[in-house]
Amino acid sequence: MRLWTFNAPSFTTKKGNGLKRGRPPGAMDEVVASAPGKVVLFGEHAVVYGHPAIAASIAQRTTVTLRTTEEPGVHIGRARVDFERHPHLATMIAHLWDETASPGLDLSVTSDVPRGAGLGSSAAFAVASAVALRAAGGRAVDAGTGAWLEGYASDGSEVALFHGGHDVRRNAEVGERRFGQDALSLEEASLLGHVAEAMSQDGRASPMDTLTSAYGGLVLLSNRLEREDAWIMRRTMPMGDAVRSWELHRLEGLHFEEGLSLVVGHTGINAPTTNMVAGVAARRTEEAGIDETMDAIGALVHRGMEALLAGDAEGVGRAMTENHLLLRRLGVSHPALETLVSAALPTSLGAKLTGAGGGGCMIALTQDPKATSEAIELAGGRTWITSFGTPGARLEACPKGGLINPK
């Protein structure tokens, strides 16, 4: 049996746009940033259509490293990036970097967030890329007030994302450029990540994955304000003929008894999120009852949130299992997922698929992680034992003056 043990949970109690510091910026001519993967505790798929959902960051992380190169443009290794193959990176470059600048960039990625497993690998990459590129290229700010002269904030759809603030005077004489930690914003990283996710999924993407990867901890998305003390921002985006709006929250101060773990079971089957989201969208137009199932998932998320806030682990587990049954009704489960969920239930408080489904991963909340992990592996899955609510995106290293000045 192979067990991967991760860090204990961390719940940050301060809101704001700053990122947690990793190791101090060094003298090396490179920028390094990382962001975590995630699991969805409640509400996947329904969240795309305005219903609430709760996600949690996990210890697996994606790390992006930027180095300068003599060749203009952005490269992975020695090959120029094919933006058709890397749409998330294409979005980040378009918003944060001048591809014609010299010197250019060489980008490398390391990750222990498996792709196509429902653990937010693309969101972690997008957020880590946004952090690295902004730190490397810096941000123009008003020298007197520190107000942004360029950047992106929670101001609605992609069209409304702004280059420069609402009330900012674009006066080069009062501006200065700040790099590294001083240039960063969690809000911006999560927003640009959401734009990248949406563009790669025909507009059908919620901001849940990227918000969780950026901020870490437990994140609640809803179509209404759920808790004023936990609210971060509002995000709206056109989706087909409608405009979707989400209120974004962080759930903090959660307390459970010691010994509670999350076991992640991987089916070994990769199911791209884009395909699964598109399949649900098609079924909404072809099958009766899909919207009713979405409504039921939305109601269940509120019960799950109440259990989380009360520290009721058994209640959280029951809601997870019920959520899985509703996701099965949506048609996003898979025989391999059903096998792993059934294997986990006798030794856990609750279990469900996590993410888009169709393969990928399931999760189990348990007080006996060893027994639950063994049961899942005997059923054919690969397991990780982790805690939820780990730290969000962070800058690991950056030279004092960044790398080069972008556009």
Question: In this predicted structure, what is the pLDDT of residue 15?
Answer: 35
Mean residue pLDDT of the chain comes to 82
Helical H segments across 11-117, by residue range: 87-96
Structural contact between residues 293 and 329, judged by C-beta atoms closer than 8 angstroms: yes
If pLDDT is split at 50, 70 and 90, which confidence band does 165 have?
very low
Question: Which of 141-145, 163-167, 293-297, 374-378 is predicted with the least confidence, judged by mean pLDDT?
Answer: 163-167
Question: In this predicted structure, what is the pLDDT of residue 170?
Answer: 43
Q: What is the mean pLDDT of residues 250-263?
A: 82
CA pair distance 38, 59, nearest whole angstrom: 8
Ranges assigned E (strand) in 12-130: 20-21, 30-42, 53-69, 74-76, 79-80, 104-111
Position 284 pLDDT exceeds 60: yes
CA pair distance 338, 325, nearest whole angstrom: 10
Question: In this predicted structure, what is the pLDDT of residue 155?
Answer: 52
Q: Which two structure tokens, joined as six digits, stand for 229?
A: 């003390």
Tokens 């936990």 belong to 230
CA pair distance 363, 388, nearest whole angstrom: 11
Q: What is the mean pLDDT of residues 121-141?
A: 92
Structural contact between residues 141 and 148, judged by C-beta atoms closer than 8 angstroms: yes
Structural contact between residues 291 and 51, judged by C-beta atoms closer than 8 angstroms: no
What are the residues facing 36 on neighbouring strands?
61
> pLDDT for 13-30, tens place per residue?
233 344 433 333 333 489
Question: In this predicted structure, what is the pLDDT of residue 203?
Answer: 66
Question: In this predicted structure, what is the pLDDT of residue 1?
Answer: 28
Per CATH, the architecture of 20-138+179-397 is what? 2-Layer Sandwich (3.30)
Position 347 pLDDT exceeds 50: yes
Supply φ then ψ for residue 365, to 5 degrees. -90, 125
Helix or strand or coil: residue 258? coil
Contacts of 179 (CB under 8 A, 6+ apart): 135, 136, 137, 138, 398, 399, 400, 401, 402
Position 173 pLDDT exceeds 90: no
If pLDDT is split at 50, 70 and 90, which confidence band does 277 have?
confident
Helix or strand or coil: residue 189? helix
Cβ burial, residue 278 (10 Å; 0-12/13-18/19+): middle
CA pair distance 132, 193, nearest whole angstrom: 13
Position 256 pLDDT exceeds 80: no
Position 234 pLDDT exceeds 50: yes
Q: Which residue has the higher pLDDT, 79 or 265?
A: 265
Q: How many CB atoms lie within 10 A of CB 285?
A: 7
Contacts of 5 (CB under 8 A, 6+ apart): 385, 386
Question: In this predicted structure, what is the pLDDT of residue 24?
Answer: 38
Question: Which of 9-23, 146-160, 198-212 is predicted with the least confidence, judged by mean pLDDT?
Answer: 9-23
Q: Which two structure tokens, joined as six digits, stand for 107?
A: 């980008």
Per DSSP bridges, beta strands 20-21 and 74-76 are unpaired
Instruction: List strands edge to edge, sheet with 350-354.
Output: 350-354, 361-366, 261-266, 382-386
Question: In this predicted structure, what is the pLDDT of residue 154?
Answer: 65
Structural contact between residues 244 and 253, judged by C-beta atoms closer than 8 angstroms: no
| Percentages of the chain per state (helix, strand, coil), in multiples of 5 | 35, 25, 40
Q: Which residue has the higher pLDDT, 150 or 313?
A: 313
Contacts of 346 (CB under 8 A, 6+ apart): 375
Domain ranges, ordered by start, for the chain: 20-138+179-397
pTM, full prediction: 0.81
**Greatest mean pLDDT among 161-165, 268-272, 274-278, 338-342:** 338-342
Position 128 pLDDT exceeds 60: yes
CA pair distance 388, 128, nearest whole angstrom: 19
Q: What is the mean pLDDT of residues 40-55?
A: 89
Q: Residue-wise over 373-391: b if at least 16 C-beta within 10 A, else e?
A: bbbbbebebbbbbbbbbbb
CA pair distance 57, 216, nearest whole angstrom: 5
Structural contact between residues 54 and 363, judged by C-beta atoms closer than 8 angstroms: no
